[in-house]
Chains A and B, each alone.
Chain A
Amino acid sequence: MDGIHDLGGREGFGPIDRHGEDLAFHAPWEARVMGMVRAMSRPGDWSIDWFRHCRELIDPIDYLTRPYYDQWLQTYGAMLVNSGTVTVDELASGKSDGRDAGLARPVSPDSVGDGKAALLRFDRPYDGAPEFAVGDAVRAVRHGVPGHTRLPAYARGRRGTVHAYRGAHVFPDAKAVGEERAEPLYTVAYDAAELWAEAAGRRDRVYVDLWESYLERP
């Protein structure tokens, strides 16, 4: 999706504001959002990819102007409403209308331990052989797709080299619509000058993790 989130290479943002860079949270509510997201019971068909897509769909002005954890709040609110777990009115009032959410009991504080419970892996068994090998020249497809994808616009149509094969990983474009399948994942190295005219003459590189169906032979 050609969304507001796809920011790589956009110009005009000016200097980077480093205000408060040594603080994990800038207000107590930010910490509550992070903690709630880790603590809440949730519908079984949610995924990191569905979350990312729902965040990408925040109104573009809100996406660029709301603080980061406000975007999390907005995104989880939308996901809860979409799943039929809560209503907009309930989110506005903070009061339940009495319907049962139909979800598992929330995890207990004892389960948090030292935070290791949050470890997830995304590599999966795969029957096929990867199409590309390390060192192969590849070109990312020219066009984006509607919906969620992890091919950034700046890499589309650009020629790079396979730097590493990472195994088959859950394919985000499909997972974001509720289908899990694995696809070979590569790290592709792009010469900066292939991506940006002003980088001509520099040896710098940009490395992007790309799934096999984003790539073709040049």
Chain B
Amino acid sequence: MAKHRSDDIAKIHRALHSHLPSEPALRVKALESLLVEKGMVDPRTVDAWVEIYTEKIGPKRGAQVVAKAWADPAFKTALLDDGTAAITALGYEGWATGHLEVVENTAAVHNLVVCTLCSCYPHSILGIPPAWYKLAAYRARAVREPRAVLAEFGVNLADDIEVRVWDSTSELRYMVLPQRPAGTAGWDENQLAAIVTRNAMIGTDRDLRTG
């Protein structure tokens, strides 16, 4: 049984800091050996999760969702109405997408997603978050100076474009639906998906390049 006392945890953190090797790779190796010996982990299951989140589940899924929304107005309506149901229809539901909210960029609106309190992210459609998404600098600044953050990512917004920052404080997870660029009429979904960047679905990219 967990003892839900904050002071106990702070003390254990200190003990771990003092008694465990400073090199994380050594601590991870010790933990895995221990959990396997205790019968709590099957290392082949670890391998399977690593493989799936390295090779199979990543932002290409999100890009397919965006491309379908651009190509299929009924899907776009469904996606904006109930993101989880819409991605479930594509078989993309999973880790951290039990309550998916998709927010749409327009000529007048730019959306940006952050988690100031930890690092919440819609894993099953965007994969493992980029390192910067989990850094203190992004978490601190995105809510306060989103325009300066966007400029660092090469997105310079006119003053009359409204910025909407979504702080992921609950189990809702946000994904940005970028604008479809001009010059893509007649493209099929795979062609469209190829131009959608991971950062555009977080909101740190805006005008997608078509060539």
Chain A positions within 8 Å of B, measured between CB atoms, are 1, 5-11, 13-29, 31-36, 38-43, 45-46, 48, 50, 52-55, 57-59, 62, 64, 66-70, 73-74, 76-79, 81-86, 88-96, 100-101, 103, 105-109, 111-112, 114-123, 146-147, 150-152, 154, 166, 169-170, 172, 176-178, 185, 187, 192, 195-196, 198, 202-211
Contacts and interface: CB of A to CB of B under 8 A. Distances in A.
B50 A88 contact: no
Interface of B: 1-4, 6, 8-10, 12-17, 19-21, 24-25, 27-35, 37-42, 44-50, 52-54, 56-58, 91, 93-99, 114, 116-119, 123-124, 127-128, 130-132, 134-141, 143-147, 149, 152-153, 159, 162-172
Given A8-B143, A54-B9, A109 B2 contact: no
A70 to B, nearest CB: 5
A92 to B, nearest CB: 5
B119 A150 contact: no
A123 B82 CA distance: 14
A15 B143 contact: no
B15 A88 contact: yes
A43 to B, nearest CB: 6
A169 B173 CA distance: 14
B162 to A, nearest CB: 5
Give 3 nearest A-B pairs by CB, closest first: A94-B30, A8-B116, A209-B170
A88 B15 CA distance: 7
Contact of A16 (B15, B152, B162, B169): B152
A108 to B, nearest CB: 6
14 contacts: A19-B131, A32-B28, A35-B49, A39-B46, A50-B2, A92-B30, A114-B57, A151-B169, A178-B2, A178-B4, A204-B162, A207-B165, A207-B166, A207-B167
A1 B94 contact: no
Contacts of A115: 49, 52-53, 56-57, 94-95, 124
B40 A38 contact: no
B38 A86 contact: yes
Contact of B172 (A5, A21, A187): A187
A101 B41 CA distance: 12
A93 B30 contact: yes
A111 B136 CA distance: 35
Contact of B135 (A16, A28, A59): A16
B158 to A, nearest CB: 12
Contact of A36 (B3, B41, B137, B141): B41
A67 B22 CA distance: 12
B35 A40 contact: yes
A81 B51 CA distance: 29
A214 B134 CA distance: 25
Contact of A176 (B4, B40, B99, B132): B4
A110 to B, nearest CB: 8
Contacts of A21: 130-132
Given A32-B50, A112-B52, A122 B171 contact: yes
Given A70-B24, A107-B42, A204-B164, A210 B99 contact: no
A55 B124 contact: no
A13 B166 CA distance: 20
B21, B25, B42, most chain A CB atoms within 10 A: B42
B169 A210 contact: yes
A15 B81 CA distance: 36
A59 B134 contact: no
Given A35-B50, A204-B163, A166 B131 contact: no
Contacts of A122: 98-99, 170-171
Contact of A40 (B41, B117, B144): B41
B34 A91 contact: yes
